[in-house]
């Protein structure tokens, strides 16, 4: 049988997905000053669910409001907010869509405007110019145990409030990814050193979530194929971690790569000027890595990064290395992108990232268009890169300033 983007797929937990397109997780920045979900999540996710994807993965939902990736993140702690989460889940599951909550802790990638004193496996700051991130403090053993409990609690709340599944964010340089990295994790206790120790936090969370959820609830993990840094978490490490995740009964693995120091998830792994020999090599950033991962595991693989044309998506599925195609940026401008891709073998999703200048404005540009969709507006396709940077920074500062110090940790 030929697998195409329209083919359904059944996960090991028994849940069926109606097709092979997933909206990749994208931070929304739409929470209220107590970091609860809002009507804007409801409007945005209904639109995305109507857009035809089999799975929508939320932007990261945080386990601890002190360590956000962005001031407008949703946090699940004792801030109430359960009714809001129920409304969010109801909207994101219309049209027979599965909605997975991505659960995360930002670790040392917590911006200074949220907290100048982040935590991490070790006290090693990000190797980035400027002062957008503070030097972290190394977590105590008891704090790590507390973080594990928080992840499990958030997963329980996700299930209780109607989310179809959870995704544990172990990629892109956030806390779990920092523990996996020999560069960020220099611990000498049971949480650092060997790969087995560096993967302990991830595995304890996965095992704890599985024990709490039972066998029938979908659990996904987003993992880097590699951090693409000398001496960092690499493909070999990834292949071993994936084998462990299979033992721990993960239902869906999202494959990505990179972190804030090397943002491969947004630009791929090749140099900008390198000639790329085929459309598939140009578009599908992590396909070659997915092939190696496929050889190591039978867990269904969602591969995210660069996919735009239906032809490349179908070819990736037919290669056998990819089971679900993740798409991110096109959904910020065209929430109906999955329906368009499903409607024609010649279809392509929009690729505005190719036109935004300077390229460092792109993240803000896409974030602002997510907010416009959430506010019921049309996306602003003409927004200049410079305008995007200014408006995005103003939005982040205002959101951070409005956060309530409600003193619940």
Q: What is d(CA 69, CA 353) in angstroms, rounded to the nearest whole number?
A: 22
Q: What is d(CA 163, CA 57) in angstroms, rounded to the nearest whole number?
A: 10
Count interface residues toward ligand FMN (CB under 6 A). 24
Q: What is d(CA 284, CA 310) in angstroms, rounded to the nearest whole number?
A: 12
The Cα-based distances of 252 to 286, 301, 371, 393 in angstroms read 16, 6, 28, 34
Q: Is 335 in the site for ligand FMN (CB under 6 A)?
A: no
Q: How far is the CB of 190 from ligand FMN (least distance, A)?
A: 27
Q: Which stretch binds ligand FMN (CB under 6 A): 169-177, 241-249, 271-279, 388-396?
A: 169-177
Contacting residue, 30, 68, 367, 389, with ligand FMN by CB under 6 A: 367
Q: Which stretch binds ligand FMN (CB under 6 A): 23-31, 146-154, 192-200, 274-282?
A: 23-31
Contacting residue, 102, 110, 220, 269, with ligand FMN by CB under 6 A: 102
CB nearest ligand FMN: which residue? Answer: 328
Our CB check for ligand FMN shows the closer of 192 and 396 to be 396
Our CB check for ligand FMN shows the closer of 98 and 266 to be 266
Q: Is 36 in the site for ligand FMN (CB under 6 A)?
A: no
Our CB check for ligand FMN shows the closer of 17 and 361 to be 361
Q: Is 259 in the site for ligand FMN (CB under 6 A)?
A: no
Give the footprint of ligand FMN on residues 197-226 (CB under 6 A): 222
Our CB check for ligand FMN shows the closer of 20 and 169 to be 169
Contacting residue, 242, 265, 374, 388, with ligand FMN by CB under 6 A: 265
| 3-class secondary-structure state, position 195 | helix
Task: Please state the separation of Cα 361 from the chain's center in Å.
Answer: 20
Tokens of 231: 């001496």
Give the footprint of ligand FMN on residues 288-307 (CB under 6 A): 304-307
Tokens of 258: 């990179």
Q: What is d(CA 350, CA 99) in angstroms, rounded to the nearest whole number?
A: 23
Q: Where are the beta strands (DSSP E) in 163-237?
A: 165-170, 219-224
| 3-class secondary-structure state, position 270 | coil
Contacting residue, 27, 79, 220, 226, with ligand FMN by CB under 6 A: 27
301 Cβ partners below 8 Å, 6+ apart? 252, 253, 254, 255, 290, 293, 294, 321, 322, 323, 324
Contacting residue, 79, 115, 256, 348, with ligand FMN by CB under 6 A: 256
Site string for ligand FMN, 51-90 (x = CB under 6 A): --------xx------------------------------
Q: How far is the CB of 189 from ligand FMN (least distance, A)?
A: 28
Contacting residue, 75, 184, 252, 363, with ligand FMN by CB under 6 A: 363
Q: Which stretch binds ligand FMN (CB under 6 A): 142-150, 168-176, 180-188, 226-234?
A: 168-176
b (16+ CB within 10 A) / e for 315-354:
bbbeeebbbbbbbbbbbbbbbbbbbbbbeeeebbbbebbe
b (16+ CB within 10 A) / e for 196-212:
ebbbbbbebbbbbbbee
DSSP 8-state code for residue 75:
B
Q: How far is the CB of 342 from ligand FMN (least distance, A)?
A: 16
Which residues of the chain form contacts with ligand FMN (CB under 6 A)? 24-27, 59-60, 102, 169, 171-172, 222, 256, 265-266, 304-307, 327-329, 363, 366-367
């Amino acid at each position: 049988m030929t697998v195409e983007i329209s083919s359904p797929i059944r996960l090991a937990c028994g849940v069926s997905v109606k097709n092979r397109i997933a909206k990749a997780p994208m931070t929304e920045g739409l929470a209220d000053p107590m970091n609860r979900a809002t009507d804007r999540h409801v409007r945005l996710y209904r639109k995305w669910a109507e857009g035809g994807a089999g799975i929508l993965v939320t932007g990261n939902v945080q386990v601890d409001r002190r360590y956000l990736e962005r001031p407008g993140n949703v946090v699940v702690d004792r801030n109430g907010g359960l009714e809001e989460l129920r409304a969010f889940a109801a909207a994101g599951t219309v049209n027979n869509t599965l909605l997975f909550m991505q659960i995360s802790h930002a670790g040392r990638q917590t911006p200074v405007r949220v907290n100048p004193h982040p935590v991490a496996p070790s006290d090693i700051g990000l190797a980035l110019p400027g002062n957008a991130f503070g030097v972290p403090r190394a977590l105590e053993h008891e704090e790590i145990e507390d973080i594990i409990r928080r992840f499990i609690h958030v997963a329980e709340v996700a299930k209780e409030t109607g989310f179809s599944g959870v995704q544990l964010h172990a990629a892109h340089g956030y806390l779990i990814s920092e523990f996996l990295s020999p560069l960020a994790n220099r611990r000498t206790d049971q949480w650092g050193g060997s790969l087995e120790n560096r993967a302990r936090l991830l595995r304890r969370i996965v095992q704890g979530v599985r024990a709490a959820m039972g066998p029938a609830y979908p659990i996904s993990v987003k993992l880097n194929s590699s951090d693409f840094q000398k001496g960092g978490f690499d493909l070999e490490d990834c292949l071993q971690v994936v084998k462990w995740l299979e033992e721990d009964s993960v239902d869906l693995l999202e494959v990505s790569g990179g972190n804030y120091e090397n943002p491969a998830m947004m630009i791929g792994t090749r140099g900008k000027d390198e000639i790329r020999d085929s459309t598939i090599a140009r578009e599908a950033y992590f396909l070659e890595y997915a092939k190696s991962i496929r050889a190591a595991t039978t867990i269904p693989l969602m591969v995210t990064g660069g996919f735009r044309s239906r032809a490349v998506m179908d070819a990736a599925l037919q290669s056998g290395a990819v089971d679900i195609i993740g798409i991110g940026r096109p959904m910020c401008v065209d929430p109906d992108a999955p329906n368009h891709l499903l409607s024609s073998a010649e279809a392509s999703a929009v690729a505005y990232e190719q036109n935004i200048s300077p390229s460092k404005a792109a993240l803000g540009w896409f974030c602002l268009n997510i907010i416009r969709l959430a506010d019921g507006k049309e996306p602003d396709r003409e927004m200049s890169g410079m305008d995007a940077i200014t408006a995005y920074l103003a939005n982040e500062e205002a959101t951070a300033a409005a956060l309530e110090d409600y003193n619940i940790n």
